[in-house]
Amino acid sequence: MQLILRTVGKESQAERLLRQEILKLKQQLQTISMVDQFASYAKVQRKINALSQQYKDKAMERSVGEQRVRMVLGGTLRTIVGLLCVWLIWEHRSDPVVSLPTNLVWPFGPILALPSCEVGQISVMIWLAVVRTVCNKVNTALTSPRTTPQRATPIFNPPPVSPTAVPVAPPLD
């Protein structure tokens, strides 16, 4: 999928020319004195701003195209995988993936055998659900940013004690 996105989302020739033109104008701008040649400096600056806006617009169009391709490809792949899972479950609904002694799967035996396996067997449907869950957990563990462990905060933080006594006014009668 990344290869397709790189092909679809690569910078066009027009974008490349705009970027090169902006770089040339910025180099030219560095050679112009803003104090002595303010008019030409402002003119070049306006050109840079206009070309930068054009470049941003083209890059935004490219980004929208990439998102569209990502949605279509992702949706298509998810649909294909979902249909393959449904077909696999339908074709092998009574075939166990693993047969274990019933004492190993004792409290969960009937659940693991859903929809039509015997107790002690793990059905294709349950196996696919377990594999998907494990793959999602591994994926999030590998792709999530690493955070440093934080210290546990105490449940009750007493207010700080002031070192000096605060005078209290006597009650008014």
Q: Does residue 68 share a domain with residue 98? A: no
Q: What is the pLDDT of residue 134?
A: 94
Q: What is the pLDDT of residue 155?
A: 65
d(CA 45, CA 39): 10
- Flag whether pLDDT at 83 surpasses 80: yes
Strand partners, 96: 123
Q: Does residue 102 share a domain with residue 73? A: no
In eight-state DSSP terms, residue 155 is S
Q: What is the pLDDT of residue 114?
A: 82
**What is the per-residue pLDDT across 104-146, written as a single tens digit (0 to 9) for each?**
888 888 888 888 888 888 888 889 999 999 999 998 988 887 7
Strand partners, 98: 122
Q: What angle do CA 166, 170, 173 make, to 5 degrees?
A: 160
- Among 54, 49, 50, residue whose Cα is nearest residue 16: 54
Q: What is the pLDDT of residue 158?
A: 62
Query: Domain for residue 151, yes or no?
Result: no
Q: Does residue 78 share a domain with residue 99? A: no
| Helix/strand/coil percentages in the chain, nearest 5 | 60, 5, 35
**Residue 32 domain boundaries:** 1-82
Q: What is the pLDDT of residue 79?
A: 95
d(CA 64, CA 70): 10
Query: Domain for residue 59, yes or no?
Result: yes
**What is the per-residue pLDDT across 21-75, written as a single tens digit (0 to 9) for each?**
999 999 998 888 888 888 898 999 999 999 999 999 988 988 888 888 889 988 9
Domain count, the chain: 2
- Flag whether pLDDT at 173 surpasses 60: no
Question: What's the predicted TM-score (pTM) here?
Answer: 0.55
Q: What is the pLDDT of residue 167?
A: 61
Q: Does residue 40 share a domain with residue 107? A: no
Residue 126 CB-density burial (10 A; 0-12 exposed, 13-18 middle, 19+ buried): buried
Query: Domain for residue 87, yes or no?
Result: no
